[in-house]
Structure 1
């Protein structure tokens, strides 16, 4: 790969995919899928050009993965939500690499609207949801469109597992 920034981005996407597959019990101890046809396997889809479908699919989320020195989270979140719509997924989130930290410490960002929709789908109060999954708010000025909620990839894996279990219970 000639472009070093592209290589960094691809490596981060792969690390996120591999971490989530392991945490969600989708792979064996060698990283091989237990069931290659399972729709819950976390995957890096082929890029679709103008109708981009996101970097990583982790049902029911599309993840927009970024490995950058300076994060522009509101921009990443707008991109994630558009790509989730293109892919037909209900939720889009941004996953930003925490420099010099393990992949599980990567930051997962939700718009307030997406955070609320996921919380309501799980039937949880705002306080219980924030506490259970380690969310903290980022309130950027008076423009609520720039506000977002953040957790780390480790807590996000627990959220995904609970969201999948809740969906199957219905």
Structure 2
């Protein structure tokens, strides 16, 4: 691969996949590029089409537009860009989405937690305690 920017992008995607496999979903993987019907760079980030970006100049608006378009193509409800933080690893990157997408995501979480709390309070209580400890 002669293009150094392509190499950087591929390396960033691979770092994200490794992080997701270790901390989220061991089936996470890089997607093949599909042109105008692209489904995002990475599959396996729950409910998301992921557009990975490792560029010197960050253009959030274009990243989000691309991620949202690719979420539709992938049949995922949410799109996000995972943007590399210079001189840092995958855990220090930024997950970016527009406010409308984030509100839809938070509404889904809220509704799911309310259902769990209402129907399985003990399970919800343990779930809540576990995720509060993670902060």
Confirm or deny a common fold (TM above 0.5): yes
**Aligned residue for 1:12?**
12
Distance across 2 between alignment mates of 1:63 and 1:25 = 14
Structure 2 counterparts to residues 8-157 of structure 1, below 5 A: 8-24=8-24, 26=26, 41-57=27-43, 58-123=45-110
Say if 2:48 and 2:76, in contact at 8 Å, map to a contact too. yes
Q: Deviations over 1:50-103 (max 9, x none)?
A: 211110112311110000111001110000000110111111001110001122
Larger Rg: 2
By how many angstroms is 1:110 displaced?
1.2
Q: CA deviation at 1:45?
A: 1.2
- For the 8 Å contact 1:13–1:44, the answer to whether it is kept is yes
**8 Å CA contact 1:45, 1:54 repeated in 2:** yes
Instruction: Please name the residue that 1:157 is paired with.
Output: none
Q: Which runs of 5+ in 2 are unaligned?
A: 112-130
Deviation by residue 1:12-56 (Cα, 9 ceiling, x = unmatched): 011001101101262xxxxxxxxxxxxxx2121111112111101
TM norm structure 2: 0.78
CA RMSD of aligned residues (A): 1.4
d(CA) in 2 for partners of 1:5 and 1:102?
A: 17
> Could you tell me whether the CA contact under 8 Å between 1:42 and 1:59 is conserved in 2?
no
Paired residue secondary structure (2:30)? coil
Counting matched residue pairs gives: 111
Do 1:19 and 1:104's aligned partners in 2 also have CA atoms closer than 8 Å? yes
The runs of 5 or more residues in structure 1 that have no matched partner are 27-40, 125-161, 163-170
Return the structure number with greater helix share.
Answer: 2
Q: Aligned partners of 1:53, 1:105: CA distance in 2, in Å? A: 24
